[in-house]
């Protein structure tokens, strides 16, 4: 009986340690030194198992210029694998690129008896770019996390089809890699978070859409949406 209890405890512990993966967009210096768009599939905006990237190769990512306009064509991404087996989808971007936007219909999954469509919508922003606040909103994204910087009293606004989304769960991974307790957006679609330290933040929001449909021949009862914001604060 004790052995069974121990095995059950270990199984439950392993289950709680299973990592969730989200699509993150960022601009970093590439191997050539030129600005490079990177798409990560991980818990936060960093490299993870490169093999998992094969599941998101159909992601559509567009660049945003200093004028606030998105590129007409998505980037042509290639898989880059590190020596340790981590990786990202990458593409060089033009000088002066101020942000990225991307979306992907991941597919239909079944978890705990529920069948749902999984969708990711991501963006990247750098607070040091010109007209940062003005160009933060991207109307092309079905769901987006929009930053409003004010130090410890900064806020993020979650938009669903261009309108504030109340009750969305927001999770922040700060510049040290610490994940903070989830908070929910208020009636104005906003949640207060601390963005006072310089560095890269990984912020995500979740929304479950009451929507039935079919994708790649599979039917689903609802659609789960995750919106990610990779925010560089300077």
Per-residue model confidence (pLDDT) at position 15? 37
Enter the pTM of the model: 0.90
Q: Return the number of other C-beta atoms located less than 10 Å from residue 10's C-beta.
A: 10
pLDDT per position as a tens digit, 192-201: 999 999 999 9
pLDDT value for 30: 76
Backbone angle region of 66, left / alpha / beta, with phi > 0 → left and psi within -120 to 50 → alpha: alpha
Mean pLDDT in residue range 111-131: 94
Q: Where do the domains of the chain lie? A: 21-233
pLDDT at 11 over 50: no
Which pLDDT belongs to residue 19?
A: 65
Give yes or no for residue 219 having a pLDDT over 90. Answer: yes
Q: Strand, helix or coil at 191?
A: strand
122-135 b/e (C-beta count within 10 Å ≥ 16 → b): bbbbbeebeebeeb
Bin 32: left if φ > 0, else alpha if -120 < ψ < 50, else beta.
Answer: alpha
* Tens digits of residue pLDDT in 62-82: 999 988 899 999 999 999 999
pLDDT at position 33, please? 81
CB 146 within 8 Å of CB 136: yes
- Provide the β-strand partners of residue 118: 107, 224
């Amino acid at each position: 009986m004790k052995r069974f209890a121990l095995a059950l405890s270990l199984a439950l512990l392993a289950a709680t340690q299973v990592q969730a993966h989200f699509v993150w967009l960022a601009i970093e210096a590439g191997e050539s030194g030129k600005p490079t768009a990177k798409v990560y599939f991980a818990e936060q905006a960093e490299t993870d198992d490169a093999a998992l990237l094969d599941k998101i190769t159909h992601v559509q990512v567009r660049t945003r210029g200093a004028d606030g306009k998105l590129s007409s064509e998505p980037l042509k991404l290639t898989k880059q694998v590190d020596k340790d087996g981590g990786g990202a989808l990458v593409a060089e971007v033009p000088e002066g690129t101020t942000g990225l936007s991307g979306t992907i219909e991941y597919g239909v999954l079944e978890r705990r008896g529920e069948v749902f469509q999984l969708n990711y919508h991501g963006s990247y922003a750098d607070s040091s770019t010109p007209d940062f606040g003005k160009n933060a909103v991207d109307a092309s994204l079905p769901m987006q996390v929009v930053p409003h910087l004010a130090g410890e009293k900064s806020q993020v606004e979650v938009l669903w089809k261009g309108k504030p989304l109340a009750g969305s769960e927001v999770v922040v991974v700060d510049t040290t890699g610490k994940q903070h307790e989830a908070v929910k957006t208020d009636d104005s679609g906003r949640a207060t978070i601390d963005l006072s330290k310089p560095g890269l933040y990984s912020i995500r929001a979740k929304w479950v859409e009451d929507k039935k449909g079919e994708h790649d021949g599979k039917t689903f009862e609802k659609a789960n949406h995750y919106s990610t914001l990779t925010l560089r604060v300077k």
